[in-house]
Each structure stands twice: as C-alpha cells, then as structure tokens.
Amino acid sequence: MHGTNRTNTTWPISYQTMGQVVIGGKFSGYCNTLEFEFPSDQSFIRSTLAQLQRIVSKYGDMKGIGPS
C-alpha cells in the first residue's frame, strides 16, 4: 500500500505479520534526499499518517509552502 499527498510524495507501507507495519518514504530537494523507514503497529497507522501530513503541511513540497 502507498500513502500519497497532493505533492506526489509517496510513503510505502508494508504490512507485516502480527499487526506490525513498516512505513517508509523519500523526499528529495536542493541536492539532498531524505529517506526514512520506521516500524509501527496497525492500531497506530491513522495517527502516524496524520502526523506525516502535518510535516508536509509545515515544510511544503518541492515548490515550498504555498499561500494559506
């Protein structure tokens, strides 16, 4: 499964056994790349995605933060 937002940033989510998930992602800009991956639990997936959306809202996409 992949989560995505309006900036076309994708967050691959791998569902493992015993209710575990692994959430990852990649964001590139200004000759830098941020790659991340962290384990979570399926019961926390909704709040995890909401927190990731807050990060994107704060820091913007490749065009920066647009007008509010």
The answer, yes or no, to whether residue 62 has pLDDT greater than 80, is no
Calpha distance 4→10 (Å, rounded): 5
Confidence of residue 57 (pLDDT cuts 50, 70, 90): confident
pLDDT value of residue 5:
44
E strand or H helix that includes residue 17: none
Mean pLDDT of the chain: 75
- In this predicted structure, the answer to whether residue 44 has a pLDDT above a threshold of 70 is yes
Determine the Cα–Cα distance for residues 6 and 61; give it in Å rounded to an integer: 9
Please write the tens of the pLDDT for every residue from 10-41: 678 888 888 888 988 887 777 777 888 988 88
